[in-house]
Structure 1
């Protein structure tokens, strides 16, 4: 069966693949804690997307299982012996909030210049459907396999991974023996840094010629805040000139201010930067830290603002913060200040500091540095932490996937270790595999997220052959 022309098989299913992908992209599957119920553990959107995905699998003749709307799976190879090995494929239906700055509606997918634009196009609905069609090809060609396949879709990958915690506790099946997640890039991701969010706590007290009433910024801990909003009062004389001067002084950041003065002499100020994935904070412009820098310069006196606007500003490696660390194999720690919440009447204001750390350091060492920051009243950790993960190049999982990549692309494969966290790390023998190719523009977690149609098709062909080689 090795003479299958996988690229031709994908091309024959191009229109169907895109139609099925659009049916998922049209669903706003952002987590919404305000609408959590026993039936919608992360809000209605992720459930709707999961149900749609499982309905596509049922349509195509797979046996499907929905585990209480937390996650679900379909299986292939149920006719194989009970002791057959299981290949797990892990994807996710949830997306990060769309945010602002889109040129088209984020949940009305459209193709422009050969690219599919929508939230989730590249993270992770596009790669998920490319992988789904890779397996669909093998099924429709009735290719004999010796390993079972369990294709698992989660609904909380972008937040706390509560979906997978629940799934593994309640699914009633042994874990897959090995597997991959189509949620990163080629040639392979066989190592992932640790991931912890630690929250800096502050009092609401602030003094100075300008008084800060509130400050909010950021949508998710794993996103660079595109914008931030502050309400201020006090000495606001010449404020427009100060806006203009600050934008000019930071011209390379393309900052944009909005402001509105209310009847009670309070002014609302919004500063726009540029969002990016929190694992690569250097690719964005943190609107919250730049707004804090501005407020610090015009007279707000507050530890919250001082730390946000001076220490956290452009501190992508945590050097000013004091948590910088580099490992020869896994690389350097990265830091993203992702969510900011402040009210002058509150005693528990927070900045969420998300660190992607290599082997050699840990969350406790990071905590010891953060708790010593002047003006910080307490530090707490997120309930969910990922420790560093690595699958050796010698593992047949890694070598097989790299071999398929090299065969189909003509490019040399190599290992990669990233700061991002994927479901690949759910298994001891688990990796991330595609769907971005070297040199592709990364728009994950950004406005105008897209996946090129040709990338979608190339990835589907690679997934088809990869699944075949792993499970034949």
Structure 2
């Protein structure tokens, strides 16, 4: 059956890409809310487009609370296999070598904001479901594709969706990696506030605060040091893969510390911050936790700002599934500068499912059938809808060894990988849709 899917996918690829390009051209970045668009006009436009496409394929469709859309194959609205993707994207950023809001092909690779995260995989699920229907495949269970519009900014869309709709019996989100992801690490972001003498603090200022965001390692910092501008360039990478980047904030601190640019409290501060440069696993903060399921804790300083008479450093931490947030907090409290205070600004406990559940095993088989690769379930440092929606796990789209592609300029996905995703997801829909329900 897998080869049959592959040939059908290949023959229909031009039609799929034409549809996908229309979705890629929607600038679905969160903006100010407006009437019937709680996350801005762009995300709502994406929901309206996917409903239009789904309806043209002959599926039941709807938009829930202006926050999420669904395209459904089957009539049971309360007992369904759920596949939860998202159509919102992070801002384009700078330094693209091609239009960010389009589908561009160079060689055997597609480019565009959202091609990987998460428009490409989400629309591959939709088109794969269309192909199954057109091939005459029948399902014992309803399959509902749900398309969110706020995943990149906190997933407030899912609470709006679940306020009106039943949770799925089980399912997945195509927004992480392969194989099946049975556990997601806990996430906690801290604001570490350190008082600094006002006269000293006048010697320092960040000039491009807009370049700092929790979703990526800061790749540029422009600062005013004793009335002189200094530009530090690093390398951008997702905040859950800091080892693939070069943190411009801690690099700046190292430069200032090496040159002894400041004395007193400010000098002590940048000496402390410099000690975190390259320390991606929490050693410098006393939180070097690890476990067999998750591996090592990951730590990323992502923003530095002045608040009144203090410097505030924001740090994102992904901690192992066997560790608690309280353990992380207590560890950090022992390794900050005197008189510093710690505030939790984001808290997402980890989530774990049993690897032995039948539907997770079926996803593993669906992956193995299409790829020939080992489908043993894994854990992730990422955060997906699996934390917000009961009974689902992350499943794809990135293959082993692929990391640090999303949220960067020239976001890409190889053509063969995009089509392989469609095949895997078609396998998964058949396995779950025709399988037992308990």
TM-score (normalizing by structure 1)? 0.84
What does 1:7-406 align with in structure 2 at a 5 Å threshold? 7-32=6-31, 35-37=32-34, 39-78=36-75, 80=76, 85-169=79-163, 172-203=164-195, 205=197, 211-214=203-206, 216=209, 218-233=211-226, 266-298=227-259, 299-301=261-263, 302=266, 305-306=269-270, 309-342=273-306, 346-347=308-309, 349-372=311-334, 373-375=336-338, 377-383=340-346, 385-406=347-368
Question: Aligned partners of 2:2, 2:301: CA distance in 1, in Å?
Answer: 50
Question: Aligned partners of 1:203, 1:23: CA distance in 2, in Å?
Answer: 50
Question: Aligned partners of 1:192, 1:98: CA distance in 2, in Å?
Answer: 26
Provide, for residues 378-425 of structure 1, a one-character-per-residue CA deviation record: whole Å limited to 9, x for no partner.
Answer: 322235x32222222211111111112111222221111111111234
Deviation at 1:194, TM superposition (A): 0.9
Query: Does the Cα contact within 8 Å between 2:80 and 2:141 map onto a contact in 1?
Result: yes
Query: Does the Cα contact within 8 Å between 1:218 and 1:288 map onto a contact in 2?
Result: no
Query: Does the Cα contact within 8 Å between 1:183 and 1:432 map onto a contact in 2?
Result: yes
Question: Aligned partners of 2:357, 2:63: CA distance in 1, in Å?
Answer: 32
Question: Aligned partners of 1:427, 1:40: CA distance in 2, in Å?
Answer: 22
RMSD: 2.5
Deviation at 1:203, TM superposition (A): 4.0
Aligned to 1:444: 406
Number of residues paired by the alignment? Answer: 429
- What secondary structure sits across from 1:116 in the alignment? strand
Gaps spanning 5+ residues in structure 2: where?
A: none
Question: Aligned partners of 1:427, 1:441: CA distance in 2, in Å?
Answer: 24
Gaps spanning 5+ residues in structure 1: where?
A: 234-265
Deviation at 1:328, TM superposition (A): 2.2
- What secondary structure sits across from 1:402 in the alignment? helix
- What secondary structure sits across from 2:284 in the alignment? coil
Query: Does the Cα contact within 8 Å between 1:106 and 1:119 map onto a contact in 2?
Result: yes
- What secondary structure sits across from 2:159 in the alignment? helix
Query: Does the Cα contact within 8 Å between 1:157 and 1:163 map onto a contact in 2?
Result: yes
Query: Does the Cα contact within 8 Å between 1:54 and 1:72 map onto a contact in 2?
Result: yes
Question: Aligned partners of 1:219, 1:209: CA distance in 2, in Å?
Answer: 20
TM-score (normalizing by structure 2)? 0.90
Provide, for residues 282-332 of structure 1, a one-character-per-residue CA deviation record: whole Å limited to 9, x for no partner.
Answer: 111111221232233341352795277323321211110112211222222
Provide, for residues 49-80 of structure 1, a one-character-per-residue CA deviation record: whole Å limited to 9, x for no partner.
Answer: 222222222222222222233222222201x5
Question: Aligned partners of 2:272, 2:236: CA distance in 1, in Å?
Answer: 17
Aligned to 1:429: 391
